[in-house]
Chain A
Amino acid sequence: MIPAYGLRDLAVLGPEIACILGAALVLGLDMAFRSQSSKRLVEAAAALALGVSAALALGRLAAGPGSAFGGQVLDGAVPDVFRLGLAATGLLTLVLARREGGSQGLLHAEFYALLLFALGAMELITVSQDLMLSFVALETFSLAMYVLAGFNKAWHGNREAALKYFLLGAFAAAFFVLGMALVFGALGSVRLDAASALLSGGKLAAPREMLLDLGLSLCATALLFKVGAAPFHLWTPDVYAGSTTPVAYFLSAGAKLAGFGALLKLLGAVPGCPAPFPQILAVLAVATLLAGNLGALRQTNLKRLLAYSSVAHTGYVLVGLLGLGTAGSGAAASVLAYTLVYAVMAFVAFGLVAAAEGGLKRPLLLEDLQGMGFERPYFSLALAVAMVSMAGLPPTAGFIVKLGVFKAALDGGHTLAAVVAILNSVVSAAVYLRVLVALYMLPKSPDGAQGGARLSGTLGFAVVALALALLALGLLPGSLLALGSL
């Protein structure tokens, strides 16, 4: 029997549909008007689609949880905020592409279409209750991202980046399929709600429960690859450095939002994680923190530094994830808040990299920033705010969300992991202080880039506004904490 689906079902998927229709519109417009002026039209269409997607996600948030397609899709407050965040990340990527797109060969309709396809699939994975659907979404956005990573073949290391990302990504996808197969073997179904019901009821025989746990952890492994958790993080520096700046931003912020949105769904299906898994997660979190922070310590290429920093931030989110089994720990909210704030911090950082590398024929290095501090005060202040926020120091939003993940981990009883994580913050401070040292404390380098780093246009406005937002959210974090009551 084929169940009947109606408009109500489609409404739940409104934000995704807006993205996909937007992608189609972009491609159609590009075919209809093959002229230079269509570039702006295409950009506007993409922005419109993302705006509609965000608005629909907001509408879903207001409407409350809804299940669709026979329970294969289930949204709720947390997934809706993830979808909202993804649409916003997409818009920010457009802002970056607008500034850098011309020189980096991104101003093609295909770029916008791929971005929209990826975002649609990313939004889908945060609401999917069905592993098969999740897999389709995962592969859709992964494929789009492989192409995006290799979009500009003239850019240094671009082909290497795309190939590396593709090969490792394909490997990760295999984990997901294997995991799904094991889940199916245990349950006869790949639905997360079915798994959840059986696990909480304790109706499963021990060997089958083990099979189920193993399957779900393999699926989680694939997602951990996407968010760049150790030991699956080795692709990040090469891929970020090899991709164009807008794409690197999208890879870091978008993939984190989608990956952690999906991980929350997946781990949420396993009530009271059985014994070894939280411990494994704790070890992974600590390993990710160490890999990211220690790796970042020696980087001189700014994009590679941000790549390792992105790995380290994944580690902090994983620390927050540790509290997931404990009621009242606010773990899901802390993960959500952290990824959202990360998307903002990363935008400010990548935006300033984009502003500074304009016209540069090589990757932006730390020494290019030397002596900028007082010469380009607003550029430098914005970057300083982003760095202080990434280091998790008050009075910035980075501090508040870091406090949230530590609180969640402590509430979950993972004191040791919290202690190691917080000591890692010292290492991370050393990383970000290096940027501040370069900006304010070192004299201008003779080999450094000259003249760049102007904040202007949409990018300048967005970067300054969001840097101020990081400060404002650090002082009045009411709205971040309101995520806890979702």
Chain B
Amino acid sequence: MLSLIIFSPLAFALALAFGPWGGHKSARRAALVLSLAQAAFTAWVLWGGDFSAAGFQLQERLAWLPALGAGYHVGLDGISRWLVALNALLLPIAVLSSWNAVERYPRAHYALMFALQSMVYGVFLSLDMLQFYIFWEASLLPMYFLIGVWGGERRLYATVKFVLYTLAGSLLMLLALVWMAFLARTQTGHLSFDFLDWSSLAIPAGQQMWLFAAFFLAFAIKVPLFPFHTWLPDAHVEAPTAGSILLAGVLLKLGTYALMRFNLGLFPEAAHAFQKPVLIICLIGAVYGALMVLVQRDFKKMVAYSSVSHMGLCVLGLFSFTLAGEQGALLTMLNHGISTGALFLIVGMFYERTHTRDLSVYGGAVLKMPVLGLLFLPVALSSMGVPGTNGFVNEFLCLRGAFEAFPWAGAVAALTVILGAAYMLRLTQKVMYGPLGGAKMEALTDITTRERASLGVLVALIFALGIFPEGILSNTQPSVQAVLARLTPGASTPAAPAPAAGGEARP
């Protein structure tokens, strides 16, 4: 089942690329149908899992490279479940967003989006680390082409920077992966890349530091954490709308997901040693990102920097090592995907009409676009974290977690809430309200049914998750607690397989 989730988009991508779709109209229709079918299938599979306990569901294993100790191994738990769902949800939205925007090489465009979706599923579901790495790296290529071919004017600079930055981090992780496989060989007698095998290894504290650092660098660049974030605004600004939605919506989550799963799950001692430095760079990133939003004059760059700020907060919760913080981080991954996805969608709607992202042109859009004005407000409120929207829940949980761990961290982080409100209100006011901006604003037309549908779904989710977050929190909790249990020194580890093997094999 999980394999079908991973590989069906890849098959769809091939079908789109080489199938009989002549013009861009039939290509986009095919893409929409396929993406909806994919989402429906994924939802059906996810529904079937039992998430009342930690541990991986629906596991599938195949001997793939026995000589290297690497296999094909997938599994789903409470943490990956919702991220998989997010990935399924955002593809149809991204397809709808490029409905009219993409006329050059539409088949290739949609095919790449499906290929990207497939790779992202692969990352979330892999339990074999070599396989994980392959999906991780392979996810770069579709995005590279999406930005490079369909992007804005400085797309080449942005896309090459994006690939090289991400690659620089992940290649060191590859060495760490091989190192871990060797460690498995010294302790169990055979090479292994399997995550479940690795969880039961006793990793000497000194080596943990290096391994943690190599993993952390790879993931921190992806998230991106300050000071590794500079590729993100460039990539976002140059990306086509669909690229931005997928980049912010799911690609960044690869980093936070992997931090949670692997850095915290495999190297608990190193995680504790690195806790304070990581919290500090998260705080700097969250505040710095928010301040950067305030000074931007480019609509899309504002949203991009707000991502930097939000992701800083997310990792802050992650590294608080408290239940509230971890749950908040996980929820932030989902909610950020929804609300920032919606924001990029809105930026795209405006850009299609005005062909500019320069904020000085905007003003009073609500007069011309009342429906968009109505839908914009909840999105902005969610990004601010106003109660009643989903953004409030995750922000509150992250702050609470940080405060529990270190009161000073919570105090500084609270600053981002104020700054967040400041920049979102400024943005809303500048774009939506006030007098009409000028000729470009005069010519605005309200959003179409297609646009209403895609934005409406996201807005509905913003309220649904804001009012009833428990629906998600309750079935992520066992898995999150399992992660925490490994982090708590001395506590028994109920979720990890064969915990008893821990101490004795220490070389």
**Nearest Cβ distance between residue B38 and chain A, in whole angstroms?**
21
Asked if B167 contacts A429 (CB within 8 A), the reply is yes
Asked if A485 contacts B67 (CB within 8 A), the reply is yes
CA distance in complex: A415, B214 (Å): 13
Nearest chain-A residue to B160 (Cβ)?
Answer: A433
CA distance in complex: A395, B163 (Å): 16
Q: Which of B137-145, B241-249, B256-264 contacts A (4 or more CB under 8 A)?
A: B137-145
What per-residue 1/0 map shows which CB atoms of B148-184 lie under 8 Å from chain A?
1100000110011001100110011011001100100
**Nearest Cβ distance between residue A182 and chain B, in whole angstroms?**
38
What per-residue 1/0 map shows which CB atoms of A393-422 lie under 8 Å from chain B?
111000100010011001100010011001
Q: Which residues of A contact B21 (CB under 8 A)?
A: none
**Nearest Cβ distance between residue B214 and chain A, in whole angstroms?**
9
For chain A residues 27-63, which have a beta carbon within 8 Å of chain B?
Answer: none
CA distance in complex: A436, B146 (Å): 13
Q: With A423-B171, A433-B163, A441-B156 as given contacts, are A407 and B178 in contact (CB-CB < 8 Å)? A: yes
CA distance in complex: A230, B499 (Å): 50
Chief secondary structure at chain A's binding surface: helix
**Nearest Cβ distance between residue B208 and chain A, in whole angstroms?**
16
**Nearest Cβ distance between residue B350 and chain A, in whole angstroms?**
25
Q: Which residues of A contact B160 (CB under 8 A)?
A: 430, 433, 437
Q: Which of A198-206, A252-260, A475-483 contacts B (4 or more CB under 8 A)?
A: A475-483
Asked if A484 contacts B175 (CB within 8 A), the reply is no
Q: Which residues of A contact B175 (CB under 8 A)?
A: 406, 410, 415, 418-419, 422
Nearest chain-A residue to B147 (Cβ)?
Answer: A441
Q: How large is the interface on A (under 10, 10 to 19, 20 to 34, 35 or more residues)?
A: 20 to 34
Q: With A410-B175, A426-B167 as given contacts, are A484 and B67 in contact (CB-CB < 8 Å)? A: yes
Cβ 8 A contact of B108, one of A374, A418, A478, A484: A374
Asked if B178 contacts A406 (CB within 8 A), the reply is yes
A425: Cβ under 8 A from any B Cβ: yes
Chief secondary structure at chain B's binding surface: helix
Nearest chain-B residue to A482 (Cβ)?
Answer: B67
Q: Which residues of B contact A418 (CB under 8 A)?
A: 175
Asked if A388 contacts B148 (CB within 8 A), the reply is no
Cβ 8 A contact of B164, one of A429, A477, A482: A429
What per-residue 1/0 map shows which CB atoms of A173-202 lie under 8 Å from chain B?
000000000000000000000000000000
Asked if A388 contacts B141 (CB within 8 A), the reply is yes
Q: Which of A395, A406, A426 has the most CB of B within 10 A?
A: A426
Asked if B163 contacts A406 (CB within 8 A), the reply is no
What per-residue 1/0 map shows which CB atoms of A275-297 lie under 8 Å from chain B?
00000000000000000000000
CA distance in complex: A356, B65 (Å): 37
A440: Cβ under 8 A from any B Cβ: yes
Nearest chain-B residue to A430 (Cβ)?
Answer: B164
Cβ 8 A contact of A425, one of B68, B105, B171, B182: B171
Q: With A388-B141, A440-B148, A481-B68 as given contacts, are A411 and B174 in contact (CB-CB < 8 Å)? A: no
Q: Which residues of A contact B133 (CB under 8 A)?
A: 394
Q: With A422-B171, A429-B167 as given contacts, are A481 and B65 in contact (CB-CB < 8 Å)? A: yes
Cβ 8 A contact of A478, one of B65, B144, B163, B168: B65
Q: With A395-B138, A430-B164 as given contacts, are A419 and B179 in contact (CB-CB < 8 Å)? A: no
Known: A394-B133, A410-B182, A426-B164. 15 other contacts (CB 8 A): A388-B141, A394-B134, A395-B138, A403-B178, A407-B68, A407-B178, A411-B182, A419-B172, A422-B175, A423-B172, A425-B167, A433-B160, A437-B160, A441-B149, A482-B67
Show 26 residue pairs from A and B whose CB-CB distance is below 8 angstroms, ordered by the A residue: A393-B138, A403-B68, A403-B130, A403-B178, A406-B174, A407-B68, A410-B178, A411-B182, A415-B175, A422-B171, A422-B174, A425-B171, A426-B164, A429-B167, A433-B144, A433-B160, A433-B164, A436-B144, A436-B148, A437-B148, A440-B149, A441-B155, A481-B67, A482-B67, A484-B67, A485-B67
Top 5 closest pairs, chain A to chain B, by CB: A394-B134, A481-B67, A441-B148, A422-B171, A426-B168
